[in-house]
Amino acid sequence: MKKILYIFVVLLVSVTAIACGKEKKPVSNNNNKATEVKSDLIVIDRTVDEFQFTNASLIVDDNSSTFKVLVTNTSENPVDIKKVVIKFYDNESHVIASLDGMILGTIDSKETKMVSASHYEKLDKAYSLGYEIVK
């Protein structure tokens, strides 16, 4: 019986020493290489009708793109709006994608809302963009 107990203790100490001494490797996730498109013609602030568009960003990863922008109602009255159509153009002024940013409701005077839209393709070739308000 002592022999079995001795073998068990030796095995337990060995396994513990091996497990504690093993170096953990950091897990790296290099599959998600998101980059932000920095074109001045995309991130520039602009005004369309009574709406001011600011802080635009276009994030492109391996399989898709996400666009975000702040929309402010600069008028003195609340405005009902359904969506903002965001059209992306290449350097030859051809439309390469059209995204719908949903708002669905009223934007009060001087109120700011975030509009976000995603696309199933990379828009890293986008050179400029335009906004269309659908009321």
| pLDDT tens, position by position, 46-96 | 899 999 999 988 888 888 888 999 999 999 999 998 899 999 998 899 999
* Domains of the chain: residue spans and CATH: 35-134 (2.60.40)
| pLDDT tens, position by position, 39-58 | 666 778 889 999 999 998 88
Please give the pLDDT value at position 54: 92
Residues 87, 42: contact at Cβ < 8 Å? no
Please give the pLDDT value at position 40: 66
Spatial separation of the C-alpha atoms in residues 132 and 100, rounded to whole Å: 10
- Rounded to whole angstroms, what are the CA distances from 117 to 3, 16, 29? 70, 51, 25
**pTM for this one?**
0.68
Residues 115, 103: contact at Cβ < 8 Å? yes
